[in-house]
Structure 1
């Protein structure tokens, strides 16, 4: 559940969870099929997304269950109304590939899928966060940059210049979803898909196509990734990923959903040790070390979603991937 998405995403999750979420029976095992990881059969409509990701990744690298699978794969919610599946894998160049799927009542479904590179690579982070209610879909799909693409032009050119045509194609099919905070933008790339749409088979097919193409693009970048040997660059990559994870763990709007499903203690564990694994191990800095503007006078973290007071109602990049803001901010 993308913590860097708009307030609308957070509110939609919280409102729907109160009315539609229970907690449910499916534990999350994993299996093998022709040497590839396989998700447990379920009624989740997003299962084809996860299965494609696992199968496609297995074509590029050697995928194995992560130690997190034993810890979290069999987690069950507090009641039997919601199906949940947690899957986690690792591979050369991939520190963690993990997926959280939720299916509640009245058509409520959530997919949080991500792939985090090893610190020896400055690869972007593959991020897919989909929320579906009976008629509404809220989507964030991106190759989240490890470094701010507005401040680091060389990083933007390295990873996104060749992908702009892909992003522009889907920007037309999946239009900008509304105001996005300035804080959110620093964790997104020029090809981010941030959209909202009414449910239909056509739009579901478009989203699946986008997911497949973005995943293939990320795997292509991974294939070309060269292991960093400069210790200072590895340290910088590690801190950049830790900063990202620290933001996500603190500002994840899906936390309230998880708290209803698992209770507060287990929900915090899922967020910090599964969804954003590494926040406790890749670095020692706190959220306020990275984002001091969120510190209240009494030393706690301000819960406001935006401290910049700036939002973007339209796509703030031009066709070349250059940041231009917009006239409605």
Structure 2
């Protein structure tokens, strides 16, 4: 299928998410009728309901004014976006897509405020009629390969959870070493065929990982050391910069809404903060990706090393030899 040009006409309808009730969160306005009985809308609603139970101050983000509903160039497909903030959360946001031919996408993430070194909750799911591609993780804010203290603080008690789903949702094949640096020892990276059973397992994993993240948030204490806050801020900006440049979902967005609008969604919504919370560029963080003419090398991996099997052992120790 040919890529859509940036001059493609996009119909944009802004429908702000309703204000939240003090007692019960409003049902998600992102829901829609689809041919498939499976829908990621229940994932979004579960997350919002559970977050509301953990914090009474979950409010719509200002992003909701500009990013709510987008009509794709086919005139049929809608992109649904929701975004919120809370005392410990800089941004909680979701993008969901459901097409008439059975394709579904969910990109759900939570970015903590810089005063908290919490991991970043990440759920990236792609479903077609027969195939599902899944990444579910509590992405580490800091290095879990070398920073033992950070790894022990957030992941030591979660290793059994990771092992449970490593059995139910096996490793999905080659994963580049560059991408792996942003994942934790409990990451779920998997591919599976569509079935009621597999979708139920995925929903169960989403629920368990989400409750685990909320528990970490509940126990997180506010950092007062400005040097550590700045380290947290730069670590999150580095993550956002990598994701905004290398996120594979961009190609789906470009096909649906055109290149120009897709770039807006990626940089202003999905990875909001890349232009606001730091000044470093992609090449500042990742100079090895600079080509001879000063542009960014577009290849997914320049190291050339990938991992076909899970590179952590049962204790959560990285066992991928010669990691680089």
Superposed displacement of residue 297, structure 1: 0.5
Contact persistence 1:27–1:85 (CA under 8 A): no
Mapped pair 1:81 → 2:76: yes
**Paired residue secondary structure (1:72):** coil
| 2:308 alignment counterpart | 313
Q: How does 1:194-273 map to 2 (within 5 A)?
A: 194-273=189-268
In 1, Cα distance between equivalents of 2:314 and 2:14:
44
In 1, Cα distance between equivalents of 2:80 and 2:231:
33
Superposed displacement of residue 43, structure 1: 2.8
Contact persistence 1:120–1:237 (CA under 8 A): yes
Structure 1 residues 60 and 17: alpha-carbon distance in aligned structure 2, compared to 1, 3 A threshold: farther
| 1:92 alignment counterpart | 87
In 1, Cα distance between equivalents of 2:268 and 2:13:
20
Mapped pair 1:72 → 2:63: no
Contact persistence 2:69–2:79 (CA under 8 A): no
Mapped pair 1:43 → 2:38: no
Gaps of 5+ in 1: 1-14
**Paired residue secondary structure (1:279):** coil
Superposed displacement of residue 29, structure 1: 4.4
In 1, Cα distance between equivalents of 2:261 and 2:74:
14
| 1:53 alignment counterpart | 47
Point out the more displaced range, 88-97 or 68-77: 68-77
Contact persistence 2:131–2:191 (CA under 8 A): yes
**Paired residue secondary structure (1:75):** strand
Gaps of 5+ in 2: 5-9
Deviations along 1:95-150, one digit per CA (max 9) or x if unpaired, are 00000000113210000000000000000000000000000000000000001210
Superposed displacement of residue 263, structure 1: 1.9
**Paired residue secondary structure (2:71):** coil
Contact persistence 2:82–2:95 (CA under 8 A): yes
Deviations along 1:30-70, one digit per CA (max 9) or x if unpaired, are 23464414311313600000000000000001210000001
Structure 1 residues 24 and 146: alpha-carbon distance in aligned structure 2, compared to 1, 3 A threshold: same
Q: TM-score, normalised by structure 2?
A: 0.91
Superposed displacement of residue 78, structure 1: 2.3
In 1, Cα distance between equivalents of 2:32 and 2:14:
11
**Paired residue secondary structure (1:229):** coil
Superposed displacement of residue 281, structure 1: 0.8
Point out the more displaced range, 299-308 or 38-47: 38-47
Q: Larger helix proportion, structure 1 or 2?
A: 1
Q: TM-score, normalised by structure 1?
A: 0.90
Structure 1 residues 51 and 177: alpha-carbon distance in aligned structure 2, compared to 1, 3 A threshold: same
Instruction: Name segments (4+ residues, structure 1) moved above 4 Å.
Output: 15-18, 23-29
In 2, Cα distance between equivalents of 1:128 and 1:150:
21
Contact persistence 2:124–2:136 (CA under 8 A): yes
Point out the more displaced range, 219-228 or 74-83: 74-83
Point out the more displaced range, 97-106 or 257-266: 257-266
Q: CA RMSD in A?
A: 2.1
Contact persistence 1:26–1:84 (CA under 8 A): no
Superposed displacement of residue 242, structure 1: 0.1
Contact persistence 2:141–2:232 (CA under 8 A): yes
Contact persistence 1:96–1:117 (CA under 8 A): yes
Deviations along 1:142-194, one digit per CA (max 9) or x if unpaired, are 00000121021111111000000000000000000001000011000000000
Point out the more displaced range, 24-33 or 310-319: 24-33
